[in-house]
Amino acid sequence: MFGLFKKKQPPSAPPPERFPPVPAWQPKIVQPIDLIIDRVAHYSNGTKDFAVFRYGTVAVLPYGLTDSQANEHALKALHGVFHAHPDMNPVAMKDGNIVIHYNNNVANVVLSQVVEANWSEIDSKHQEALATHEVLITPLGQNTFDDHGKKALFGRCYMFMDAQSPEVVRIERRVA
C-alpha cells in the first residue's frame, strides 16, 4: 500500500576492479611506427630481431625464429610483463628520446618530437597514466614526477594498450 512495504533495492555494487590494473589514460597521440622501428634498430646497432606491436611496444627476439615463432615469442614476452608488476626503467637517449625497458626484453620508445608536439596533454594527464591504486616512489615523493618521469608514464601507456589487445604488426630482422 503506497510503497510502505515495498522491498528496498540493495545498493548497487561498485564495478569490479580490472586485473591486472591498467591506467585510465589511453593516449590518442600516435607515435609513428616507422620512427620507432628506426630508433630501435639504431639503438641496437642493427643487430637485433624485434617484433613491433600496434601501439609501438617492441619485444626483442632471439635470433633465428620464424615469423610464426617470433610472433608467439613476442606475445608471451608482453604477456609476462603485463601479468607481473610492470617495472619500468626509462633511459634518456642522446637523441632526446626515452627508451623504457621492462622485463622479458620488452620496451617502448618515447619520441622527443611527439612529446614536444603534445607536451601540454602529457603534462596534464600523466597522473592518469598510473595504473589503478599504483604508487611509484620517486626522488620527489610518492607519485610525484619530473618531466622525465611524465614522459616515461606516457610511453608506458602504450605498453598497457598493447598488452590489453596484443597484435604484432611488424617483425623486423637484424641488418648486421
The C-alpha cell of 16 is what?
569490479
Task: Using the structure block, give the residue that is written with the C-alpha cell 600516435.
Answer: 30
Task: Report the phi/psi class of residue 64: left, alpha or beta, with left for phi > 0 and alpha for psi in -120 to 50.
Answer: left
Q: How far apart are CA 81 and CA 58, in angstroms?
A: 12
Phi-psi label, residue 131: left if phi above 0, alpha if psi -120 to 50, beta otherwise: beta
What sign has the CA pseudo-torsion 54, 28, 16, 19?
A: positive
| Amino acid letter, residue 7 | K
Cα distance between residue 68 and residue 35, in whole Å: 24
Written as tens digits, the pLDDT of the chain (176 aa) is: 555 555 555 566 555 566 789 999 999 999 999 999 999 999 999 999 999 999 999 999 999 999 999 999 999 999 999 998 768 999 999 999 999 999 999 999 999 999 999 999 999 999 999 998 888 888 898 999 999 999 999 999 999 999 999 999 999 999 86
